[in-house]
Chain A
Amino acid sequence: MAEEKEKVEKGLKLADPIESSIDISTQEMIARSHKLGIETVFDRAVNMKPCNIGLQGICCKNCAMGPCRLPLPKGGIVGEDTRKGLCGATANTIAARNFARMVAAGAAAHSDHGRSVAEVFMAAAKKQTTAYKIKDTEKLIAVAPHLNVATTVEVDGKTLDRDIDEIAVEVAEKALNEWGKMEGELLYLKRAPKPLYEKWEKYGVKPRNIDREIVDIMHRTHMGVDQDYKNIVKQCSRASLADGWGGSMLATDLQDILFGTPSPLQSEANLGVMKKDHVNIIVHGHEPVLSEMIVAVAQSQEMIDYAKKNGAVGIQLSGICCTANEVLQRHGVPPAGNFLQQELAIITGACDAMVVDVQCVFQNLANVAKCFHTKLITTHPMAKMEQENVVHIQFDEHYALEDATRIVKMAIENFKNRKADVMIPPYKSPQIAGFSVESIKYHLGGTFRGTYYTLNDNIINGRIRGIAGVVGCNNARTKHNEHHITIIKELIKNDVIVLSTGCSAITAAIHGLLTPESAAVYCGPGLAEICETVGIPPVLHLGSCVDNSRILLAATEVVKAGGLGNDLCDLPAAGSAPEWMSEKAIAIGHYFVTSGVYTVFGGNLPMSGAPVFQKYLFEEMEKMYGGKWDVTADPIEHAHKMIAHIDKKRKELGIDKARERVLMDMADRQKLEA
Chain B
Amino acid sequence: MSKLIAFAAIQGGYKVVSEVEGLYRNALQTYNADTKVEFPNTGYYLPVIYSLTGLKVTNLENLKKPLEFARGLLPPHVKSKNHLPYLGPLLDAGMAGIIAYEVKEAIRSVTHPDFYYPHEDPDIEAGKIWTGPADDIILRKRGVEFVDGSAPGFAAIVGAAPTPEIAKMIVEDYQKKNLYIFCAANHNGQTVIQQLIEAGVQVGWNTRIVPFGPDISSAVFALGFANRAAMAFGGVQPGDYKTILKYNKDRIFAFVNALGDIGTEWGVAAAGCVNWGFPTLADTDIPEILPTGICTYEHVVTNVKHDEMCQRSIEVRGLKVNVTEINIPCSFGPAFEGERVRGADLYAQCGGGKTQCTELVKMAQMNEIEDGKVIVDGPDVGDLKEGDTFPLGIYVQIAGREFQEDFEPIMERQIHHLINYIQGVMHIGQRDISWVRISKAAIDKGFTLKDIGVVLHAKFHQDFKKIVDKVQVTLFTKKDDVDKMTARARAEYQTRDARVDKMTDEDVETYYSCTLCQSFAPSHVCTVSPERTGLCGAYNWMDCRASFEINPTGPNQPIEKGECIDPKLGQWKGVNEFVQKASRGAVTHYNFYSMVTDPMTTCGCCECIAAMLPSCNGVMTVGRDYSGDTPCGMKFTTLAGVMGGGASSPGFVGHSKHNITQGKFILGDGGLLRMVWMPKMLKEELKDRIMARGAAMGVPDLYDKIADETVGITEEEIMPFLQEKGHPALSMDPIIG
Please give the residue numbers on chain A whose beta carbons come within 8 Å of chain B beta carbons, in ascending order: 264-266, 430-432, 442-450, 453-455, 457-458, 461, 463, 515-517, 529-530, 532-536, 661-666, 668-670, 672-674
CB of B2 closer than 8 Å to a CB of A: yes
B335 to chain A, nearest CB (A): 16
Give me 21 A-to-B residue pairs in the complex whose CB atoms sit less than 8 angstroms apart, sorted by A's number. A432-B82, A445-B88, A445-B91, A445-B293, A446-B88, A446-B89, A446-B275, A447-B88, A448-B241, A449-B275, A457-B292, A461-B291, A461-B292, A530-B291, A534-B85, A535-B6, A536-B85, A661-B318, A662-B318, A664-B318, A665-B320
Give bound CA distance, A446 to B241, whole Å.
Answer: 12
B287 → chain A closest CB, angstroms = 9
A672 touches B522 (CB 8 A): yes
- What per-residue 1/0 map shows which CB atoms of B285-305 lie under 8 Å from chain A? 000011111100101000000
Q: Taking CB as reference atom, which chain B residue is nearest A529?
A: B291
Closest to A454 in B: B293
Kindly supply a per-residue 1/0 record for chain B positions 27-52, scoring 1 wherever the CB is within 8 Å of any chain A CB and 0 otherwise.
00000000000000000000000001
Complex partner residue of B519 from A517, A534, A666, CB under 8 angstroms: A666
Chain A residues within an 8 Å CB radius of B81: 430, 517
Please judge, given known A-B contacts A265-B84, A532-B3, whether A447 and B95 are in contact too, CB under 8 Å: yes
**A-B pairs, 4 with minimum CB distance:** A666-B149, A446-B91, A674-B522, A454-B293
Q: When the two chains form the complex, which single residue of A264, A461, A463, A668 contacts B85, counting CB atoms closer than 8 Å?
A: A264
Q: How far is the CB of A496 from chain B (nearest CB, A)?
A: 16
Extra contacts besides A447-B73, A517-B82, A534-B87 (6): CB < 8 Å: A266-B79, A442-B88, A534-B85, A663-B318, A665-B322, A672-B251
A444-B293, A445-B293 known; A535-B3 Cβ under 8 A: yes
Q: A668 and B320 in contact (CB under 8 A), knowing A443-B85, A661-B315, A663-B315?
A: yes
Binary CB contact string for chain B from 97 to 113 against chain A (1 if under 8 A, 0 otherwise): 00000000000000000
**Complex contact A669–B315 (CB within 8 A):** no
B275 touches A535 (CB 8 A): no
Q: Which residues of B contact A430 (CB under 8 A)?
A: 81-82
With both beta carbons as reference points, the residue of chain A lying nearest to B89 in the complex is identified as: A446
Nearest CB to that of B1 among chain A residues? A532
Q: A residues within 8 A CB of B92?
A: 446-448
In the assembled complex, the CB of A332 is this many whole angstroms from the nearest CB of chain B, namely 11
A450 to B242, CA, bound (A): 9
CB-contact partner of A535 in B85, B148, B253, under 8 A: B85
Residue B91 contacts which of A264, A432, A448 (CB distance < 8 angstroms)? A448
User: B430 interface residue, CB < 8 Å from A?
Assistant: no
C-alpha spacing A171/B735, complex, angstroms:
53
Question: For residue A529, which residues in chain B have a CB less than 8 angstroms away from its CB?
Answer: 290-291
In whole angstroms, what is the CA distance A661 to B296 when docked?
10
Query: Is there contact, CB below 8 Å, between B294 and A445?
Result: yes
B319 at the interface (CB under 8 A from A): yes
Chain A nearest CB from B322 CB (Å) reads 6
Taking CB atoms, residues of chain A closer than 8 Å to B319 are 663-665
B597 close to A (CB within 8 Å): no
Residues on the B chain within 8 Å of A445, using CB: 87-88, 91, 293-294
Q: Is the CB of A669 within 8 A of B251?
A: yes
- Residues of B near A670 (CB, < 8 A) are 515-516, 518-519, 555
Assembled-state Cα–Cα distance A343/B79 (Å): 35
Given contacts A447-B73, A665-B152, contact A533 B291 (CB under 8 A): yes
Interface flag for B86 (CB, 8 Å)? yes
A265–B85 CA distance with the chains assembled, in angstroms: 9
Taken together as a complex, chains A and B put the C-alpha atoms of A265 and B245 apart, in Å, by 29
Give the shortest distance, in Å, between B500 (CB) and chain A (any CB).
28
Taking a contact as CB atoms under 8 Å apart, the answer to whether A535 and B83 are in contact is yes
Q: How far is the CB of A498 from chain B (nearest CB, A)?
A: 15
Beta-carbon contact of B293 and A457 below 8 Å: yes
Name the residue on A nearest B518 (C-beta).
Answer: A670
Tell me the bound Cα distance from A278 to B621 in angstroms: 80
Closest to B555 in A: A670
Distance in angstroms between the alpha carbons of A266 and B83 in the assembled complex: 8
In angstroms, Cα B87 to Cα A264, docked, is: 12
A446-B90, A448-B52, A674-B584 are known contacts. Are A669 and B84 too (CB-CB below 8 A)? no
Q: Are B293's CB and A453's CB within 8 A?
A: yes
Q: A674: nearest residue on chain B (CB-CB)?
A: B522
State the CA gap A669–B90 with chains docked (Å).
Answer: 29
CB of B594 within 8 A of chain A?
A: no
The residue among B52, B293, B315, B318 with the most chain A CB atoms within 10 A of its own CB is B293
A329 CB, min distance to chain B CBs, angstroms: 14
Q: A446-B87, A515-B82, A516-B83 are in contact. Are A669 and B293 (CB under 8 A)?
A: no
Contact of A449 among B91, B322, B523 (CB under 8 A): B91
Instruction: For the complex, give the distance between the alpha carbons of A673 and B73 in Å.
Output: 32
Contacts of B518 in A (CB 8 A): 670, 674
Q: Chain B residues near A431 (CB, 8 Å)?
A: 82
Query: Could you tell me the distance between the alpha carbons of A461 and B52 in the complex, rounded to whole angstroms?
Result: 30
Interface residues of B in 253-300 (CB under 8 A from A): 253, 274-275, 289-294, 297, 299
Q: How far is the CB of A415 from chain B (nearest CB, A)?
A: 30
Q: B316 — nearest CB in chain A belongs to which residue?
A: A661
With both beta carbons as reference points, the residue of chain A lying nearest to B277 in the complex is identified as: A449
Return A32 CB to nearest CB of chain B, in Å. 29
Which residues from A are CB-within-8-Å of B321?
665
Cβ-closest chain A residue relative to B646: A674
The answer, yes or no, to whether B471 is at the interface (CB within 8 Å) is no
Give the residues in chain A near B73, CB-CB below 8 Å.
447
State the CA gap A457–B277 with chains docked (Å).
14
List A contacts of B89 (CB < 8 A). Answer: 446
B78 within 8 A of A: yes
Cα distance A444–B292 when bound, in Å? 11
Question: Across the interface, do A533 and B318 meet the contact criterion of CB distance under 8 Å?
Answer: no
A residues within 8 A CB of B251? Answer: 669, 672
**Interface flag for B250 (CB, 8 Å):** yes
Q: Are B297 and A454 in contact (CB under 8 A)?
A: no
Q: A430-B82, A444-B293, A446-B92 are in contact. Are A533 and B2 (CB under 8 A)?
A: yes
Report whether A672 and B78 are in contact in the complex, using a CB–CB cutoff of 8 Å. no
Give complex CA distance A446, B83 in Å: 16
Contacts of A264 in B (CB 8 A): 84-85
Chain A minimum-CB-distance residue to B91: A446
Closest to B90 in A: A446
- Closest B residue by C-beta to A659: B292
Complex-state Cα separation, A669 to B241, whole angstroms? 21
Shortest C-beta distance, A177 to chain B (Å), equals 34
CA distance A430 to B83 in the complex (A): 10
Rounded to whole Å, the gap between the CB of A543 and the closest CB of chain B is 16
Q: In chain B, what residue has the closest Cβ to A532?
A: B2
Q: Could you tell me if A664 and B253 are in contact, using CB atoms closer than 8 angstroms?
A: yes
Rounded to whole angstroms, the CA-CA distance of A264 and B292 in the bound complex is: 23
Q: Determine whether the beta carbon of B84 is less than 8 Å from that of A266.
A: yes
A444–B89 alpha-carbon span in the complex (Å) = 10
| Whole-angstrom distance between the Cβ of B34 and the nearest chain A Cβ | 30
B79 closest partner in A (C-beta)? A266
Interchain CB contact under 8 A, A533 and B82:
no
Give Cα A533–Cα B73 distance, bound, in whole angstroms. Answer: 20
Within B510-565, which residues are at the interface with A (CB < 8 Å)? Answer: 515-516, 518-519, 522-523, 555
Once A446-B89, A535-B6 are accepted as A-B contacts, the answer to whether A661 and B297 lie under 8 Å apart by CB is yes
Give the complex CA separation of A564 and B149 in angstroms: 31
Q: Say whether A266 contacts B82, CB under 8 Å.
A: yes
- Decide: A444 near B83, CB < 8 A? Known: A457-B293, A463-B291: no
Instruction: Give chain B interface residues in 53-100, CB to chain A under 8 Å.
Output: 73, 78-79, 81-92, 95
Contacts of A661 in B (CB 8 A): 297, 315, 318
A577 CB to nearest B CB, Å: 26
| Chain A residue at smallest Cβ distance from B93 | A446
Specify which chain A residues have a CB less than 8 angstroms from the CB of B515 in the assembled complex: 670
Query: What separation, in Å, do the CA atoms of A9 and B139 have in the docked complex?
Result: 89
Smallest Cβ distance from B559 to chain A, in angstroms? 18
B219-252 toward A: CB 8 Å interface, digit per residue (1/0)? 0000000000000000000000110010000110
Using CB atoms, name the residue of chain B closest to A267. Answer: B82
- B584: A residues at CB distance < 8 A: 674
Residues of B within 8 A of A669 (CB): 149, 251, 519
